[in-house]
């Protein structure tokens, strides 16, 4: 587990379906410990809240005991079908523990979380980091494959993520690939630039 900013830690664990390391995060807040998209959390973690970016990132949520589970409203039913009770269904703009902000993406069932105190953004699948499957590249950040968006397009995704630039982050923590720990604003601007303007 690596501390990236005061109160913000990240760890990786092997995901058998992806056959690669994927990341999870934990942030200390005045409302308790918030864990985001947990996979194989360290045993000493005692989460008060679990935030899920999207339903298939429930991962090890059941191991976190009595923590409140916050997930996108459109992910609540799929999570219930997997035996995970969502205590708080969330939409973009809703208030979250510790002042964390939820931003709706072009994927109806997926949110991105902004951590204002750490000037960080935590992303599930809509942005991928360097080295992430599929089609691994050296780009620090790239949009997920357009096929993952259903009827939406990359232009729709770019538009939904542009509010992230209103308060440019210093860190972008992705679930898949390497986090962006330097030059986050520039990397995000490049990823969100219209095709051909990168």
- Tell me: the pLDDT tens digits for 35-47? 999 998 888 889 9
Q: What is the mean pLDDT of the chain?
A: 91
Beta strands in the chain, from DSSP E residues, in sequence order: 2-5, 8-15, 20-29, 32-36, 49-51, 68-72, 88-90, 101-104, 111-115, 120-123, 127-129, 141-143, 171-174
- Residue spans of beta strands (DSSP E) within 44-168: 49-51, 68-72, 88-90, 101-104, 111-115, 120-123, 127-129, 141-143
Residues 6+ apart with CB under 8 A from 34: 26, 27, 28, 47, 48, 49, 50, 51, 96, 97, 98, 100
Residue 195 is predicted with a pLDDT of 67
Check residue 43 and give its pLDDT. Answer: 85
Give CA–CA dist 86/71, Å, rounded. 7
Q: Which two tokens stand for residue 97?
A: 């523990």
**Which portions of the chain are predicted below pLDDT 50?**
196, 198
Write the pLDDT tens digit of every residue in 3-12.
Answer: 999 999 999 9
Domain ranges of the chain: 2-192
Please tell me the CATH code under which domain 2-192 is placed.
3.60.15.10
How many Å is the Cα radius of gyration of the chain?
15
The pLDDT value recorded for residue 56 is 86
Query: Do the Cβ atoms of 179 and 188 come closer than 8 Å?
Result: no
pLDDT at 119: 95
**Predicted local distance difference test score (pLDDT) of residue 63:** 86
Residue-wise pLDDT for 132-145, tens only, equals 777 767 789 999 99
pLDDT of residue 181: 95
């Amino acid at each position: 587990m690596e501390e990236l900013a005061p109160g913000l830690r990240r760890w990786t664990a092997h995901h058998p379906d992806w056959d690669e390391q994927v990341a999870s995060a934990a942030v200390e807040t005045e409302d308790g410990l918030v864990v985001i998209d947990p996979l194989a959390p360290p045993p000493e973690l005692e989460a008060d809240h679990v935030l899920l970016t999207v339903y298939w990132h429930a991962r090890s949520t059941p191991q976190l005991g009595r923590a409140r589970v916050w997930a996108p409203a459109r992910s609540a039913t799929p999570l219930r079908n997997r035996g995970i009770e969502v205590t708080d269904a969330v939409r973009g703009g809703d208030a979250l523990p510790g002042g964390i902000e939820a931003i709706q993406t072009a994927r109806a069932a997926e949110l991105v979380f902004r951590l204002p105190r750490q000037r960080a953004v935590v992303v599930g699948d809509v942005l991928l980091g360097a080295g992430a499957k599929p089609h691994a590249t050296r780009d620090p950040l790239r949009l997920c494959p357009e096929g993952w968006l259903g009827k939406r397009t990359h232009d729709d995704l770019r538009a939904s993520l542009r509010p992230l630039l209103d308060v440019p982050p210093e860190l972008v923590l992705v679930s898949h690939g390497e986090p962006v720990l330097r030059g986050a604003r520039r990397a995000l601007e490049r990823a969100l630039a219209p095709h051909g303007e990168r």
